Amino acid sequence: MSPRTLFDKVWTAHEVVKETADTPAVLYIDLHLIHEVTSPQAFSVLRSLALPVRRPDRTLATMDHSTPTRTEQVFGGVPIKVDAAAKQVAELERNAAEFGVELFDMRDARRGIVHVISPELGATQPGMTIVCGDSHTSTHGAFGALAFGIGSTEVSHVFATQCLLQRKPKTFAINVEGQLRPGVTAKDLILAIIGKVGVSGGTGYVFEYRGSTIRGLSMDERMTICNMSIEAGARAGMIAPDDTTFAYLKDRLRAPQGTAWDAAVERWRTLAGDPGATFDASIDIDAAALEPMITYGTHPGMVVPITGTIPQSPGAGQPSATAVFDKAMAYMGFHGGDVMLGKPIDVVFIGSCTNGRLEDFRAAATILKGRKVAAGVKLLIVPGSQQVKREAEAAGYAQIFKDAGADWRESGCSMCLGMNGDTVGAGEYSISTSNRNFEGRQGVGARTLLASPLTAAASAVQGKITDPRTLV
């Protein structure tokens, strides 16, 4: 057999029916994660066809997108502010009960953002196929799983058959070598990769992040990398499982235990790509050359080193590109050539499925310890899960945040997309550790600058865009 990539191995092991010229492959799905926003219409499909969820044992539900983050609303019986969100949450409770799907409801200690809770439970495992009606499902690829976002119709397909009809994507190697410098994080690395590949460069591909830099990353960092694969257009991003992966998973609630653990690790070790396996595309990244990165425009590919300047408008030779650039600058209130450092900010959000894990809060705490949030700046810190919340409280980070003047909340997607009412005001500048700086993403008229937790915390303290290396 010719040498195979990690992706090839996982794909082949889940082919129920191989693809032909006329028909896509039938791909088996090991784990189906669902949440309140993209599942109701899929449950309606089941109901209209009088079908059950075929494998509730492979289905796990949580609520995260439209849920409140204020403690009194989550636990205190204060109603959810947004009526429609309350209805959506209630509908998921009804659907989960009716179809026998395990649900971590609003007050469950295991609840959190879908892409945070599944890894922390050990439900996400190497070699699995994992889908969810959410584009950041790519996060789980950090474990060597093939994980990708799907639409609600596909959610109904997985409910009914535990399978999806899929064309085999192409493979794209992202080779990263060199040591990240102090103050430069996994978030900066993935932003730099998106800047280089472009926001559609990964369309039709599955990324595999490889090389010594990736091998040296923790699981929290690897999840940050894989999470944003979709921002370069790739539905999935994968990292070969290794001892770091196994150490993370060992003794987690839903990981294999005892002799089954040993057998699983033995199997997982065979997943890494074979020497000589080839990819359809590749790029090389020098990690040692990177600086903290920050976005300046209205998509994640509009990104520069934090010490840099905004590029100049493409110019008269490219009228279409110029119009797009000028529209983004008008929305952001910026100009080509502007220096990023020192620009004033209004809001800082630390959280999301990209940067809402314990290590992200540890990083933020190193900056915020003994410091105060600048006057006039609102700092919202939202843990990715209730477990992360408990861990951050036990480690003392939460107290550091509160002492600094931050608002520390219950877990959820929160201000990443503002569905639950946690929004940024029109015209306000927000430094956010989330994944999308699209127009209006954090609220109508909100101006989002994506950055790492270190940069976000440093900027909160100074009230302006700040290089975190000046504060550590």
Partner 1 sequence: MQPLERIRSKTVVIDSSNIDTDQIIPARFLTTTTKQGLGRQLFADWRYLADGTPNPEFILNTPGAAGCQILVAGRNFGCGSSREHAPWALLDYGLRAVISTEIADIFRSNSLKNGLLPITVDEATARWLLDHPGADVDIDLASTRLTLPTGASLSFPIEAFARHCLLHGIDELGYLRSKLPDIERFEAARDERARSA
Q: Which residues bind partner 1 (CB under 8 A)?
A: 16-17, 21-24, 26, 28, 37-38, 40-41, 44-45, 49, 65-66, 82, 84-85, 87-88, 91, 133-135, 137, 149-154, 156-157, 160-165, 167, 199-200, 203-204, 230, 233, 235, 263, 267, 299, 320-321, 323-324, 327, 417-419, 426, 436, 438-441, 444
CA 466 vs. chain centroid, Å, equals 24
How far is the C-alpha of 239 from the C-alpha of 146, rounded, in Å?
Answer: 10
Write down the least CB distance from residue 248 to partner 1, Å.
23
How far is the C-alpha of 35 from the C-alpha of 15, rounded, in Å?
Answer: 26
> Within a 10 A sphere around the Cβ of 1, how many other Cβ atoms?
4
Buried-exposed string 172-183: b where 16+ CB fall within 10 A, e elsewhere: bbbbbeeebeeb
Write down the least CB distance from residue 182 to partner 1, Å.
32
Find, among 375, 383, 389, the residue nearest to 433 by Cα: 383
Write down the least CB distance from residue 419 to partner 1, Å.
5
Beta strands across the sheet bearing 281-286: 236-238, 205-210, 170-177, 281-286
How far is the C-alpha of 58 from the C-alpha of 151, rounded, in Å?
Answer: 18
Query: Residue 61 class from Cβ within 10 Å (0-12 exposed, 13-18 middle, 19+ buried)?
Result: buried
Structure tokens belonging to residue 398: 């939460």
Closer residue to partner 1 in complex, CB, 316/375: 316
Write down the least CB distance from residue 200 to partner 1, Å.
4
Write down the least CB distance from residue 210 to partner 1, Å.
22
Closer residue to partner 1 in complex, CB, 3/315: 315
Closer residue to partner 1 in complex, CB, 86/341: 86
Closer residue to partner 1 in complex, CB, 156/452: 156
Closer residue to partner 1 in complex, CB, 88/385: 88
Closer residue to partner 1 in complex, CB, 92/465: 92
Please state the φ and ψ torsions of residue 252, each to the nearest 5 degrees: -70, 150
Identify whether the C-beta of residue 421 lies closer than 8 Å to the C-beta of residue 401.
Answer: no
How far is the C-alpha of 281 from the C-alpha of 170, rounded, in Å?
Answer: 8
Three-class DSSP category at 308: coil
CA 387 vs. chain centroid, Å, equals 17
Write down the least CB distance from residue 162 to partner 1, Å.
7
Write down the least CB distance from residue 458 to partner 1, Å.
27
Closer residue to partner 1 in complex, CB, 9/436: 436
- Given phi > 0 = left and psi -120 to 50 = alpha, else beta, which region is 263? alpha
Write down the least CB distance from residue 372 to partner 1, Å.
32
Write down the least CB distance from residue 434 to partner 1, Å.
12
Closer residue to partner 1 in complex, CB, 23/179: 23
Closer residue to partner 1 in complex, CB, 347/367: 347
First to last CA, the chain: 51
Structure tokens belonging to residue 253: 């609630």
Write down the least CB distance from residue 88 to partner 1, Å.
5
Structure tokens belonging to residue 317: 């030779």
Closer residue to partner 1 in complex, CB, 2/320: 320
Residues forming beta bridges with residue 380, ordered by sequence position: 349, 407
Find, among 433, 180, 187, the residue nearest to 285 by Cα: 180
